[in-house]
């Protein structure tokens, strides 16, 4: 699983996100971003990089990224 956390998030505080990361442990790819809030794709600077990271993660970790026979 992938979880992104914005340290400027006013809806889900960073402590809650970190607790989730501890709960899931190594099963979760947890990433924090100091410059982002709750929804980094809402025209915040750097949103394109987050979108690219998510797309790359999906291609790497799902069957959708696997070559077709």
Phi, psi values for residue 56, rounded to 5°: -65, -40
Answer yes or no: is pLDDT of 69 > 70: no
Instruction: Give the pLDDT of residue 16.
Output: 96
Instruction: Give the pLDDT of residue 32.
Output: 95
- Give the percent of the chain with pLDDT over 70: 87
- What is the Rg, in whole angstroms, of the alpha carbon atoms belonging to the chain? 13
Instruction: Give the pLDDT of residue 40.
Output: 66
Q: How far from 45 is each of 13, 26, 56, 65, CA to CA, in Å? A: 20, 29, 19, 27
3 state DSSP class of 29: strand
Task: Give per-residue pLDDT as tens, 40-65.
Answer: 666 788 888 988 999 999 998 887 65
User: What is the rounded CA–CA span in Å between residue 37 and residue 9?
Assistant: 4
- Residue 9 · residue 37 · CB < 8 Å: yes
């Amino acid at each position: 699983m992938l979880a992104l956390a914005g340290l400027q998030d006013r809806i889900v505080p960073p402590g809650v996100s970190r607790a989730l990361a501890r709960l899931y442990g190594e099963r979760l790819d947890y990433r924090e971003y100091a410059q982002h809030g709750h929804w980094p794709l809402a025209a915040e600077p750097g949103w394109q990089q987050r979108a690219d990271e998510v797309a790359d993660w999906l291609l790497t970790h799902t069957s959708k990224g696997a070559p077709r026979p």
